[in-house]
């Protein structure tokens, strides 16, 4: 059994294509057990069946998290992905992942998480032969009952991580709490304000984030502003000029043009065009 692992029902943030009109697609997230809750944010499973249908492109704006991922043809630990992430879904396949809390993978990695940003590190490089055994165990489950598959994979990953549970790390917990503070407080818009809230210098804050999160605090602030913009547009915020100006102001941008440039560079289209594409 997975103990107190439970399904997470809240909609994930950062998914730029909320759903597909055709094909079978599922996305489940499962909370970790208590022993891993300080390090793991959740397990996730994506399965798709596009047999006989055109391939579809799924895009996301990743969070400041490290992921351990096993797919039917690929595997690895992925550092924080700083750009828009695209995945072509064709045929039938799956991806299972462990999303670590910000700072949560540093005790496993043993070196600054910034060193693996925008990189894939093979599991064998980090965990040796046992890493590849984990891959084999997860892939062997792929033919199991689809409804039970996410929990079965989460149980395998849980056992793997519990067997390698590192000692508590106060810096990892502080990093996670600071990232969480940015995520929930849209008024927290500067590194200076975050440093003051943390009771540390900006230089010390930068070092903490490079060591434990993998990107700087300014990047995290800007990314969560963009997550909020996408969420509001998906919820129906109108793309008219006046509404975009208000949205830019709410998110702390100096002007609407700056907001539109940053949104377009990251999402791939201006906010108005993105909102219209959702309908």
CATH number for 199:
1.10.10.60
What's the pLDDT at 23?
56
Confidence of residue 120 (pLDDT cuts 50, 70, 90): very high
Note whether residue 15 is domain-resident: no
> Would residue 96 count as lying in a domain?
yes
CA distance 271 to 265: 11
What is the rounded distance in angstroms from the CA atom of residue 279 to the CA atom of residue 203? Answer: 45
How many helical (H) and strand (E) elements, i.e. helices and strands, does the chain have? 11, 8
Of 93 and 173, more confident: 173
How many independent structural domains does the chain possess? 2
pTM of the model: 0.91
- The CA-based angle 134-135-137, given to 5 degrees, is 65
Confidence of residue 77 (pLDDT cuts 50, 70, 90): very high
Q: Which of 101, 100, 105, 131 is nearest to 116 (CA)?
A: 105
- Final residue before a domain boundary, out of 146, 162, 178: 162
Q: Is the pLDDT of residue 215 over 70?
A: yes
From 142, 162, 182, the end of a domain falls on 162
Do the domain assignments include residue 44? yes
Looking at the fold, whether 141 and 35 belong to one and the same domain comes out as: yes
Domain assignment present for residue 6? The answer is no
Pick the last residue of a domain from 162, 191, 214.
162
Residue 2 resides in a domain = no
**191-198 and 170-184 helices, crossing angle to 10°:** 130
Question: What is the spatial distance between Cα 48 and Cα 14, in angstroms, rounded to a whole number?
Answer: 19
Mean of pLDDT over the chain: 89
pLDDT tens, residue by residue, 236-264: 765 666 588 888 888 888 889 999 999 99
- Where residue 145 falls among pLDDT bands split at 50, 70, 90? confident
Examine residue 3 and state whether it is found in any structural domain, yes or no: no
Which residues are 89's β-sheet partners?
56
Q: Within this chain, do residues 199 and 273 fall inside the same structural domain, yes or no?
A: yes
Does 142 score more than 60 pLDDT? Answer: yes
Same domain for 227 and 151? no
* 212 neighbors 115 (Cβ within 8 angstroms): no
Looking at the fold, whether 149 and 49 belong to one and the same domain comes out as yes
pLDDT band at 6, cuts 50/70/90?
A: low
| Pair 151, 267 in one domain | no
Q: Is the pLDDT assigned to residue 143 strictly greater than 80?
A: no
Q: What was the pLDDT predicted at 2?
A: 46
Q: Over the stretch 166-176, which tens digit does the pLDDT of each residue have?
A: 999 999 999 99
CB-count exposure of residue 55 (10 Å: 0-12, 13-18, 19+): exposed
The verdict on 147 and 236 lying in the same domain is: no
Say if residue 195 is in the same domain as residue 252.
yes
Statement to judge: residues 224 and 188 lie in one domain: yes
Residue 200 burial (CB < 10 Å; 0-12/13-18/19+)?
middle
């Amino acid at each position: 059994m997975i103990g107190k692992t439970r399904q997470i029902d809240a909609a994930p943030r950062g998914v730029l294509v909320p759903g597909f009109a055709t094909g079978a697609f599922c996305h489940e997230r499962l909370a970790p057990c208590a022993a891993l809750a300080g390090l793991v944010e959740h397990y996730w499973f994506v399965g798709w069946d596009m047999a006989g249908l055109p391939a579809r492109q799924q895009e996301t704006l990743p969070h400041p998290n490290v992921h351990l991922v096993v797919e039917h043809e690929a595997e690895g630990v992925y550092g924080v992905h700083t750009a828009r992430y695209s995945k072509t879904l064709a045929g039938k396949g799956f991806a299972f992942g462990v999303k670590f809390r910000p700072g949560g993978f540093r005790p496993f990695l043993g070196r600054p998480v910034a060193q693996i940003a925008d990189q894939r590190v093979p599991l064998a490089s980090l965990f040796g032969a046992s890493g590849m055994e984990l891959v084999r165990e997860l892939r062997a489950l792929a033919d199991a009952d689809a409804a039970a598959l996410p929990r079965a994979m989460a149980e395998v990953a849980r056992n793997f991580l519990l067997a390698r549970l590192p000692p508590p790390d106060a810096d990892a917990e502080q990093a996670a709490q600071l990232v969480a503070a940015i995520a929930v407080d849209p008024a927290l818009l500067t590194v200076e304000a975050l440093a003051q809230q943390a009771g540390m210098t900006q230089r010390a804050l930068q070092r903490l984030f490079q060591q434990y999160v993998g990107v700087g605090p300014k990047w995290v602030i800007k990314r969560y502003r963009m997550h909020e913009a996408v969420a509001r547009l998906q919820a129906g915020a109108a793309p008219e000029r006046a509404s975009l100006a208000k949205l830019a102001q709410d998110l702390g941008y100096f002007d609407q043009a700056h907001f539109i440039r940053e949104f377009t560079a990251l999402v791939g289209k201006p906010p108005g065009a993105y909102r219209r594409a959702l309908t």
